[in-house]
Amino acid sequence: MSKEKVIEVKGLGASYDELVVLSDVNFSAYKGDITVVLGASGSGKSTVLNHLLGLYPVNKGFVSILGKDISNITEKEQLSLYLQMGVFYQSGALLNSMTVGENVALPLKQHSNLPDSLVEEIVYMKLGLVNMQHAYHYFPSELSGGMLKRAALARAIVMDPPLLFCDEPGAGLDPISLASLDELIINLQKKLGISVLMVTHEVTSIMRIADRIVYLENGVVAFEGSLKNALESNVESVKHFFSVIDEADRFK
């Protein structure tokens, strides 16, 4: 039986004035999978992500998230869709005027009527999942880059979303923190059945966590398939991307 599609993109196009960034993007992400979107700088990864997140309007093509066509969506529907999505931004994007605990509690407090004591316990637990309980009362400006990312991940998963978007989560992390972050994402995927769409360049991370690969090149999808197929792909750019691993092996 084929898996349920959580994201479906058909013929997505986008341009900034004269510059065409996406010409015809087609791909799907499936329930329970970790789908990694790859591509060189300027290939349109961020533009695709911003369309999926509803930050850019879909003017050309069709985009469906969790079965909802977002090219034709009301504000109310978009809001209810946001409650089912967690977004993990590259910079963390925590609100600087609030402590880490308040940042993580924000979606829960705004979208539920749970008593404060229970919200606090949930926030502690979620921070515990990312080993950040000690930073509950810290402000984002007092955290290191890696800590910021972990706190941002805690905020992204605080509502137990079925779909998690990650924008370059590994950027700026040391290999050990990156490995523990990957492990955490795999844990969430396996135990909670969360589907993940991730934009990343970290080859080691991709090898560890990716189920499916979507390779963007010049505004179109040059490759879409499983990680195994990607490693054996004949597409020149994909081959070149993964050749980095072979080069690294040579130094061993």
Partner 1 sequence: MENNNSKERYIALEKDFIYRFQDNTLFLSRSLLLPQTIWFTKKIPKELKSFKVKNIILNLDELQDIDSAGVMALFHLKDKLRKSGISARIEGGSQSILEKIELFSPGQLPYHETPLKPGFLERTGNAVSHFFTDFVFGFITLAADVFYWSVSDIFRSRSRRKGEIANQAVLIGVNASLIVIFLSFVIGLVIALQSSGQLRTFGANIYIVDLTVIAMMSQMGPLITAILVAGRSGSSIAAEIATMKVTAELNALKTMGLNPIRFVVVPKLYACLITMPFLIIFANVSGILGGGVAAYIYLDITPEIFINRMGTVMQNKDLITGFVKSQVYASLIVLTGSFFGFRVVRGAEGVGKVTTTAVVVAISLVILADSILGLLFY
List the 19-30 sheet strands across, edge first: 68-69, 60-65, 5-16, 19-30, 220-226, 212-217, 34-39, 195-199, 163-167, 85-88
CB 200 within 8 A of CB 227: no
| Choice between 121 and 174, CB closer to partner 1 | 121
Q: How far apart are CA 227 and CA 232, in angstroms?
A: 9
Interface positions, 192-231, toward partner 1 (CB under 8 A): 192
Using only C-alpha atoms, the chain has a radius of gyration, in whole angstroms, of 18
Q: CA torsion sign, 235 to 237 to 241 to 245?
A: positive
With respect to partner 1, which residue has the nearer C-beta, 50 or 112? Answer: 112
Q: Does 187 engage in binding with partner 1 (CB under 8 A)? A: yes
**Could you tell me the two tokens for 242?**
């993964």
Question: x/- binding map, residues 102-141, to partner 1, per CB under 8 A?
Answer: ------x---xxxx-xx--xx-xxx-xx---xx-xx-xxx
Site for partner 1 in 142-171 (CB under 8 A): 158-160
Nearer of residues 159 and 213 to partner 1, judged by Cβ: 159
Provide the minimum distance between the beta carbon of 202 and partner 1 in the complex, in angstroms, as a whole number.
23
- One residue of 74, 96, 110, 234 binding partner 1 per CB under 8 A: 96
* Closer by beta carbon to partner 1, 59 or else 112: 112
The H-assigned helical ranges of 112-233 are 116-129, 145-156, 175-192, 203-209, 227-231
**How many residues belong to the site for partner 1 (CB under 8 A)?**
29
Q: Least distance (Å) from partner 1 to the CB of residue 141?
A: 4
Interatomic CA distance for residues 14 and 60, integer angstroms: 7
Lookup: tokens for 117 = 């004591």
> What residues line the site for partner 1 (CB under 8 A)?
96-97, 108, 112-115, 117-118, 121-122, 124-126, 128-129, 133-134, 136-137, 139-141, 158-160, 187, 191-192
